[in-house]
Amino acid sequence: FLSLVAEFCWGLFVILILGNFWFLAVLYLLWLYFDWETPCTGGRRSQWVRSWTVWKHFREYFPIHLVKTSDLSPKHNYLLGFHPHGVLVAGAFGNFCTGTGFKNLFPGLTPYLHIMPIWFGCPFFREYIMSAGMVSASKESVSYVLNNKGGGHASIIVIGGAEESLNAHPGSLTLNILKRKGFIKMALKHGAHLVPVFSFGENELFKQVANPKGSWLRNVQEKLQKIMGFALPLFHARGVFQYSFGLIPYRQPIHTVVGSPIPVKQKLNPTSEEIEQLHALYLQKLRKLFEEHKKDYGIPEHKSLVFE
């Protein structure tokens, strides 16, 4: 969906340049020059945009639910690790960028969903995604959010990143996390409490063309991901009037479960050992969160998370 909107915005920009409104394109480029760092300095959210009626219908289509398991005090800053990426990241967008669900469950906290910096280079589109509460996933951006001395800020990072979307098959429970420790280092440097988040149903929205590791398709996808910075999963779902084929996601419920916070003591220069210890604890808490709730959302008892 975001890709389609981005393509529309690029098309609009090209029309301005080629048409009789080229001066508007020039003015926007000037604005872009002076506003370039905003996605790394907290963005520019709009409650009006976040409250659009279309997002209410978006959440109700699946439907999308946010599940609270513990209080999060607004006296602290938090780094929420979101899993899994899926194809659409619908749970993250629906729960943290639209409506008032998060605010009602966690009063006093302001959520910031961190996404790839490349999206903020798209004319006009960048204004929309910042209005929804999205900011860059760069180190500078995460540091800006977590550096709020008064607390009350929550960085949401999709830990598996674009690479994990290639594992987004129905029933898949494989998470790309063993080598991803940058978020742990950021939490330590800023003393931000870590919170594991698991979104049940995220991988059920689309069917993806078989791409097991080692296959020619997976090799091509991984090479393109390294070159472009984002993955290209080949997926399909349902159409408007039929359920056989199309790009509209299936109507599968999504339950995004927010776990209990892991207290983190600030370490401006954390050692490798401290990072490893906290990373291991995070994996333990994430697995525990999944095991405690999987039976509620249709996951068979014998299935468990796979970390790679």
Which CATH number characterizes residue 221's domain? Answer: 3.40.1130
Residue 1 has pLDDT above 60, yes or no: no
Residues 179 and 265 in one domain: yes
Domain match, 83 and 1 both: no
Helix residue ranges, H only, the chain = 2-18, 22-35, 47-50, 53-61, 90-96, 101-105, 125-131, 139-146, 161-164, 182-190, 216-228, 272-293
15 and 142: one domain? Answer: no
Q: Do 296 and 244 lie in a common domain?
A: yes
Is the domain of 232 the same as that of 263?
Answer: yes
**Which carries the bigger pLDDT value, residue 83 or residue 225?**
83
Q: What angle, rounded to 10 degrees, do the helices at 182-190 and 272-293 form?
A: 110
Q: What is the pLDDT of residue 209?
A: 92
pLDDT by residue (tens digit) across 148-166?
999 999 999 999 988 899 9
- 121 and 21 in a common domain: no
178, 30: one domain = no
User: Mean pLDDT across the stretch 285-293?
Assistant: 98
Instruction: Kindly provide the b/e burial profile for residues 235-253, where b requires at least 16 CB atoms within 10 angstroms of the residue's own CB.
Output: bebbeeeeeeeeeebeebe
Do 45 and 19 fall into the same domain? no
9 and 110 share a domain? no
Same domain, 52 and 154: yes
Predicted pLDDT at 289: 98
Closest CA to 91 of 194, 6, 183, 168: 168
Contact, 185 vs 79, CB < 8 A? Answer: no
What integer pLDDT is reported at residue 8 of this predicted model?
62
What is the CA angle 56-57-62, rounded to 5? 105
* CA dist list (Å): 144 to 21, 112, 135, 149, 259: 36, 11, 10, 11, 24
Please indicate, yes or no, whether residues 198 and 263 belong to a single structural domain of this protein: yes
List Cβ neighbours of 213 (8 Å cut-off, separation of 6 or more): none
Q: Are residues 78 and 218 in the same domain?
A: yes
Flag whether pLDDT at 269 surpasses 80.
yes
**Residue-range definition of the domain harbouring residue 8:** 1-35
DSSP string covering 222-240, please?
Answer: HHHHHHHSS----EE-B-S
Q: How confident is the model at residue 123 (pLDDT cuts 50, 70, 90)?
A: confident
Q: Is the pLDDT of residue 282 over 60?
A: yes
Q: Which three-class secondary structure state does DSSP give residue 67?
A: strand
> Which band of pLDDT confidence, cut at 50, 70 and 90, is reported for residue 3?
low
Percentage of the chain modeled with pLDDT above 90: 76
Q: How many domains does the chain have?
A: 2
Two tokens, residue 25: 């394109």
